[in-house]
């Protein structure tokens, strides 16, 4: 399972997002009780979000909340949900998810500049094609949800 999941992660970082979902789904099929299911679900949702399939993204992000996860990872999922709901025009849900993410920030800086600076702290930045998609979807949704720029 880790090989498929990590290969999916690499595909995001190289800009081959059309290859991510099948790899992550294969990892889930091979290890349906894996402790990292939340991470796999988040990646699937993220690809859907980048491809403007917000309804599908929301389904996967909600699944990602179920497994026990570290607070930093849960905060990330709440941010993704806030973005997807905002892009869908579901302002109340977006505001709720943004508030959850803010609560989990525990006093840390909470703005788009901080998210951008820390998003790939453990990975190299993805290619410009992915950054453009992020700006058009993920970060546009966070702005729409009410997250400040700085």
| 144 vs 147: CA distance, rounded Å | 7
pLDDT-based confidence at residue 117 (cuts at 50, 70, 90) = confident
Residue pair 95/147 in contact (Cβ under 8 Å)? The answer is no
pLDDT digits (tens, 9 = 90+) for 120-133: 777 788 899 999 99
Please tell me the chain's helix, strand, coil percentages from 3-state DSSP, rounded to the nearest 5. Answer: 70, 0, 30
Q: Classify residue 20 as left (phi > 0), alpha (psi -120 to 50) or beta.
A: alpha
Provide the pLDDT for residue 68: 66
Q: Are 50 and 130 in contact (CB under 8 A)?
A: yes
pLDDT at 112: 95
Whether the per-residue pLDDT at 52 is higher than 90: the answer is yes
Map out the domains of the chain with their CATH numbers: 2-145 (1.25.40.10)
């Amino acid at each position: 399972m880790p090989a498929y999941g990590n290969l999916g992660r690499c595909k995001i970082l190289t800009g081959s997002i059309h290859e991510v979902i099948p790899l992550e789904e294969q990892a889930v099929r091979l290890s349906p009780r894996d402790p990292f299911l939340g991470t796999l679900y988040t990646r699937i949702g993220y690809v859907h979000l980048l491809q403007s399939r917000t309804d599908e993204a929301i389904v996967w992000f909600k699944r990602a909340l179920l497994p026990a996860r570290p607070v930093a990872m849960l905060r990330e999922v709440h941010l993704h949900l806030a973005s997807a709901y905002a892009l869908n025009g579901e302002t109340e849900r977006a505001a709720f998810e943004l508030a959850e993410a803010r609560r989990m920030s525990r006093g840390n800086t909470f703005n788009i500049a901080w998210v951008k600076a820390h998003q790939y702290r453990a990975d190299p930045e993805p290619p410009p094609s992915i950054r453009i998609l992020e700006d058009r979807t993920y970060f546009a949704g966070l702005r729409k949800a009410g997250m400040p720029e700085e």
